[in-house]
Amino acid sequence: MHGTGKRYAVRWRDESRRERRKSFTLKGDADKFAAKTTHELERGQYIDPDARKTLLRAVAEDWLQSAEHRPSTAEGARRQLELHVLPYLGDRAVGGLKRGDLQLWIKDRRKVLADSTVAIVYGRLKAVLTYAVHNDLITKNPCDGIPAPSVKRKEPTPPPTEVVAALIASAPSRYRAMVLLAAGSGLRHGELVGLERQHLDLDVGEVHVRQQAVRLDKGDPYIGQPKTDQSYRVVPLAKTVVEALSEHLRRFPPTAVVLDDRTDPRKPHRRTALLVFANANGRAINGGGWSRVWSNTVKRADAKLEKDGSKLRVPPGTSAHDLRHYYASLLILHRESVKTVQRRLGHAKPSVTLDVYTHLFEEVEDTTRDAVQDALKDISI
pLDDT in tens, 346-371: 999 999 998 899 888 877 766 656 66
Q: Are residues 215 and 353 in the same domain?
A: yes
What is the domain-level CATH number for residue 353? 1.10.443.10
Q: Are residues 218 and 266 in the same domain?
A: yes
Q: Tell me how far CA of residue 333 lies from CA of 215, 325, 364, in angstroms.
A: 31, 12, 6
Q: Are residues 38 and 63 in the same domain?
A: no
Q: Within a domain: residue 377?
A: no
* Domain-ending residue, one of 115, 134, 153: 134
Q: Are residues 23 and 100 in the same domain?
A: no
Q: Are residues 169 and 266 in the same domain?
A: yes
What whole-number distance in Å separates Cα of residue 131 and Cα of residue 99?
17
pLDDT at 380 over 70: no
Residue 259 backbone zone (phi > 0: left; psi -120 to 50: alpha; other: beta): beta
Q: Are residues 33 and 62 in the same domain?
A: no
Q: Within a domain: residue 192?
A: yes
Q: Are residues 201 and 282 in the same domain?
A: yes
Average pLDDT score over residue span 310-319: 95
Average pLDDT score over residue span 365-381: 67
pLDDT band at residue 2 under the 50/70/90 scheme: low
257 is in which domain, residue-wise?
161-363
Count of structural domains, the chain: 3
> How deeply is 147 buried, as exposed, middle or buried, from its count of CB atoms within 10 A (0-12, 13-18, 19+)?
exposed
Q: Are residues 28 and 70 in the same domain?
A: no
Q: Within a domain: residue 371?
A: no
Q: Within a domain: residue 140?
A: no
> How deeply is 11 buried, as exposed, middle or buried, from its count of CB atoms within 10 A (0-12, 13-18, 19+)?
exposed
With pLDDT > 90 as the criterion, what percentage of the chain qualifies?
A: 63
Q: Are residues 220 and 339 in the same domain?
A: yes
Q: Within a domain: residue 143?
A: no
Give the pLDDT score at 47.
63
Average pLDDT score over residue span 265-288: 91
pLDDT at 180 over 70: yes
Give the pLDDT score at 102.
94
Residue partners of 361: CB distance under 8 A and separation at least 6: 332, 338, 354
Q: Are residues 260 and 173 in the same domain?
A: yes
Q: Within a domain: residue 144?
A: no
Range of weakest confidence among 71-75, 128-132, 299-303: 71-75
Q: Which of 99-108, 127-136, 371-380 has the highest mean pLDDT?
A: 99-108
- Residue 212's DSSP bridge partners are 224
- Cβ-based neighbour number of residue 221 at 10 Å: 23
Which pLDDT tens digit goes with each residue over 52-110? 788 999 999 999 998 877 777 788 899 999 999 999 999 999 888 999 999 999 999 99
pLDDT at 278 over 80: yes
Give the pLDDT score at 361.
84
Length of the chain: 381
Average pLDDT score over residue span 246-256: 96
Give the pLDDT score at 371.
63
Average pLDDT score over residue span 236-264: 95
Q: Are residues 214 and 277 in the same domain?
A: yes
Give the pLDDT score at 264.
87
Dihedral angle of Cα 48, 54, 58, 63, to the nearest 10 degrees: 40
Q: Within a domain: residue 20?
A: yes
Range of weakest confidence among 69-73, 135-139, 200-204, 244-248: 69-73
Q: Are residues 26 and 76 in the same domain?
A: no
Q: Within a domain: residue 273?
A: yes
Give the pLDDT score at 16.
56
Give the pLDDT score at 17.
65
Give the pLDDT score at 375.
65
- Cβ-based neighbour number of residue 184 at 10 Å: 25
